[in-house]
Amino acid sequence: MGRWPDREVVRVVDKWEEGRDISSMKVVSEREAWGEFTPGQFALLWIPKVDEIPLSPADVKEREQGWEILFTVKVVGEATKVLSDLGIGAPLGLKGPLGRGYELDYRGKVVGVGGGSGAPSVLSALFKAEREGGRGVLLLGAKTVEELPYRDWVGELGVDVRYSTDDGTLGKKGFVTALLEEMLEKELEGDEQFVVCGPEVMMVAVRDMALKRGLNVQFSLERYIKCGIGICDACTISGYRVCRDGPVFPLSTILKMEEFGKVKRGPSGKRELL
């Protein structure tokens, strides 16, 4: 707070395709605030003349020129389409980091469970654990192999990554929760810290598994975010502001949210059943 102008103009410095309608891009910020980035936090990316959308970075690294931030974008509408089509050098407005991220002991064991567009958020936790001497396992799920990002390069960085696809085109056939269940059956040591981000139906399943087995899980929620600073109420779930109190919440808070897994709000604030 208090930084002004609140949006910094950054440029796309690198960009590549990750899969069908999914691309990754890097921007460089000169703002010191990114040095305090906690995985799970998000940024508002302003695509001039189009819209401004919340995205959780997949990684933030210190470089000579500033903070290099990695974003992964899946095309779901106009703004993400334009963002995906931007070329290197294109300007963007960047505001962040915003919200509260995962509170973890990054020297310990971190298990990330990511579904669909939740992959970047959990990957950022794994990268941090890797850098700080912790251990990590990343479980990623998607409908089909072409919708799984990072598979070309993330293994080379030392991240133990396992995949699931609904159609069995890569990794375990089925939902990522089946992959998680398999891991819990075979490898659970008891000191794992789980972070999960993805479709809410998937997170409901993880919540239930966490309750059954007494797992330590933090959930990163997705809602319709407008202001990003906790005043407009657009992203609120059962009184918790996803943009300010979250997007990451511990299991104990998730259990207090009667709307979790059931209700979200549209742009007008109208209730929509999930």
Partner 1 sequence: MIEDVSLEVEVGGVRLSHPVLLASGVLNETAHSMIRVVDVGGAAGVVTKSISLDEKMGHRNPTVVELPTGLLNSMGVPNPGMEEYSKEVLMFKERLPQTPIILSLYGESVEEFEKLARAAKELPVEAVEVNLSCPNREEGGLTFGTRPEMVYNAVRAVRRGFPRGVWVKLTAQVGDVVEVAKEAQRAGADALVAINTLKGMAIDPLLAMPVLANKTGGYSGPGIKPVALRVVWELSSSEEIYIPVVGVGGIETGIDAVEFMMAGASAVEVGSAVRSRGIEVFRAIMDEIRMFLIENGYSSVKEIIGLALDVEKAMSREEVI
Interface stretch with partner 1, choices 31-39, 140-148, 157-165, 231-239 (CB under 8 A) = 231-239
Residue of 196, 222, 236, 260 interacting with partner 1 (CB under 8 A): 236
Interface stretch with partner 1, choices 20-28, 120-128, 147-155, 264-272 (CB under 8 A) = 264-272
Interface stretch with partner 1, choices 26-34, 115-123, 134-142, 236-244 (CB under 8 A) = 236-244
CA angle 80, 223, 15 (to 5 degrees): 25
Contacts of 103 (CB under 8 A, 6+ apart): 38, 218, 248, 250
Contacts of 37 (CB under 8 A, 6+ apart): 57, 60, 67, 97, 101
User: Does 232 sit near partner 1 (CB under 8 A)?
Assistant: yes
Report the DSSP pairing between strands 236-237 and 240-241.
antiparallel
- CB of residue 274 vs partner 1: minimum separation in angstroms? 16
Report the DSSP pairing between strands 66-74 and 22-29.
antiparallel
- CB of residue 87 vs partner 1: minimum separation in angstroms? 16
The mark string for 193-222 relative to partner 1 (x by CB under 8 A, - otherwise) is: ------------------------------
The mark string for 49-88 relative to partner 1 (x by CB under 8 A, - otherwise) is: xxxxx-----------------------------------
Residue of 118, 241, 254, 261 interacting with partner 1 (CB under 8 A): 241
Helix (H) or strand (E) holding 26: strand 22-29
3-state secondary structure of 122: helix
Q: How far apart are CA 93 and CA 179, in angstroms?
A: 38
Number of residues binding to partner 1, judged by CB under 8 A = 38
Residue of 14, 17, 48, 188 interacting with partner 1 (CB under 8 A): 48
**Tokens matching residue 260:** 């979790």
Nearer to partner 1, 13 or 178 (CB): 13
User: Does 182 sit near partner 1 (CB under 8 A)?
Assistant: no
Contact predicate 157/130, CB 8 Å: yes
User: Does 7 sit near partner 1 (CB under 8 A)?
Assistant: yes
Query: How distant, in Å, are the alpha carbons of 26, 141, 180 from that of 173?
Result: 32, 10, 12
Judged by CB under 8 A, the chain residues 81 through 140 that form the site for partner 1 are 91, 93
**Tokens matching residue 143:** 């409908």
Report the DSSP pairing between strands 51-55 and 59-63.
unpaired
Nearer to partner 1, 2 or 133 (CB): 2
Nearer to partner 1, 186 or 270 (CB): 270
Q: How far apart are CA 168 and CA 174, in angstroms?
A: 7
Nearer to partner 1, 131 or 271 (CB): 271
Binding residues for partner 1, rule: CB under 8 A, are 1-7, 9, 44, 46, 48-53, 91, 93, 226-234, 236, 238-239, 241, 265-271
